[in-house]
Each structure stands twice: as structure tokens, then as C-alpha cells.
């Protein structure tokens, strides 16, 4: 087998490609560093924000973003939003002391999906024998809250048995 001699001169082309590639890589690295720093800052802010709030409010808000010195806090419950807005001046002062680059706070209500409403199971009818036992027990019990509850139960189930 005879070795094939390749006399291609890619040095000029490679220098241009390497220069462009290097600039692109440096630009990407710079962007990644900026994103990393912003993510770290947001994590620090979120941790600090949670220390400012009482535990009951912590699950109802989160840091939504930081743009041009304005910290946006998303709140998922209207009453928590109202209370946080009342405390805004003191919260802003504490945040500004810890993070001087944050100039203002902005609160945003975030609508979440309502919880699925559970429909109650259909009423069950009681047999006439069971109703008779309840009536017998009701007649033996003295007046009081238990007797009244049994009376309501009997009235309810007699009405349902008539409908069915």
C-alpha cells in the first residue's frame, strides 16, 4: 500500500475558523457565566425572602424574576398578597439592605388552577328494618343532642326512602 501524500493548505482557513470559534465560545462562556451568576443571586434572594416571611406565607409566593433592579414576587393567594403589600415598605428596606442592587419590589398575583371539587357520593337508602331499629333506639333515648341527631337522621332517611 502506497501512502497518499496530502498537500492541503488549511492554515489560513483554520486560523479564521479558530478565531471565529474562539470568539463564539468566549461569548457563550460569558453568557453562561452571567446566567450562572443571576441564578445564584436569585437563589440567594429567594432564601433571604423566605427568612423574612412567616412560615404560613412561604408556600404561597416565590421569586418570579429580577429585571433592571426590580424584584418581582409572584403570590398565589390573595390574602397573602394583601398582607405582603401592607408590609412592603419594611420588606423593601430589608431586601435593599441585603441586596443593594434591588431598587424596588413588584408583587404579582398568579392565578392557579382551583382544586378539583369533589362531588359527594349519592345518598344511600336504608332498609325498612334498619329504619325500624333506629326508631326503636330513638324512643329509648332520653332527650338530648344524641336524640336530636337521631331524629334528624330518621327524618332525612324517611324522606329519601319515600323519593325512591
- Cβ-based neighbours of 160, under 8 Å, separated by 6 or more: 123, 125
Per domain, the residue ranges of the chain are 12-109, 128-163
Instruction: For residue range 111-121, list pLDDT tens digits in order.
Output: 876 667 777 67
Contact between 105 and 69 under an 8 Å Cβ cutoff? The reply is no
Place of cell 404560613: 56
* Nine-digit cell string for 14: 483554520
DSSP 8-state class, residue 59 = T
Nearest residue to 79 via CA among 115, 109, 46, 113:
109
**Confidence band (pLDDT; 50, 70, 90) for 5?**
low
Instruction: For residue range 60-75, list pLDDT tens digits in order.
Output: 889 998 899 899 999 9
Instruction: For residue range 90-105, list pLDDT tens digits in order.
Output: 999 999 999 998 999 9
Considering the four listed CATH numbers 3.40.50, 1.10.10, 3.30.300, 1.25.10, the one that applies to the domain covering 12-109 is 3.30.300
Amino acid at each position: 500500500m502506497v501512502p497518499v501524500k496530502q498537500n492541503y493548505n488549511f492554515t489560513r482557513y483554520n486560523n479564521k475558523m479558530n478565531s471565529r470559534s474562539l470568539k463564539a465560545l468566549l461569548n457563550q462562556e460569558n453568557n453562561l457565566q452571567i446566567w450562572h451568576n443571576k441564578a445564584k443571586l436569585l437563589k440567594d434572594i429567594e432564601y433571604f425572602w423566605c427568612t423574612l416571611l412567616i412560615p404560613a406565607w412561604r408556600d404561597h409566593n416565590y421569586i418570579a424574576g429580577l429585571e433592571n433592579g426590580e424584584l418581582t414576587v409572584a403570590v398565589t393567594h390573595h390574602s397573602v398578597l394583601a398582607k405582603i403589600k401592607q408590609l412592603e415598605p419594611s420588606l423593601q428596606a430589608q431586601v435593599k439592605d441585603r441586596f443593594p442592587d434591588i431598587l424596588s419590589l413588584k408583587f404579582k398575583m398568579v392565578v392557579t388552577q382551583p382544586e378539583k371539587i369533589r362531588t359527594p357520593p349519592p345518598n344511600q337508602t336504608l332498609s325498612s328494618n334498619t329504619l325500624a331499629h333506629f326508631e326503636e333506639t330513638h324512643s329509648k333515648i332520653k332527650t338530648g343532642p344524641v336524640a336530636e341527631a337521631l331524629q334528624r337522621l330518621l327524618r332525612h332517611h324517611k324522606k329519601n326512602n319515600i323519593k325512591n
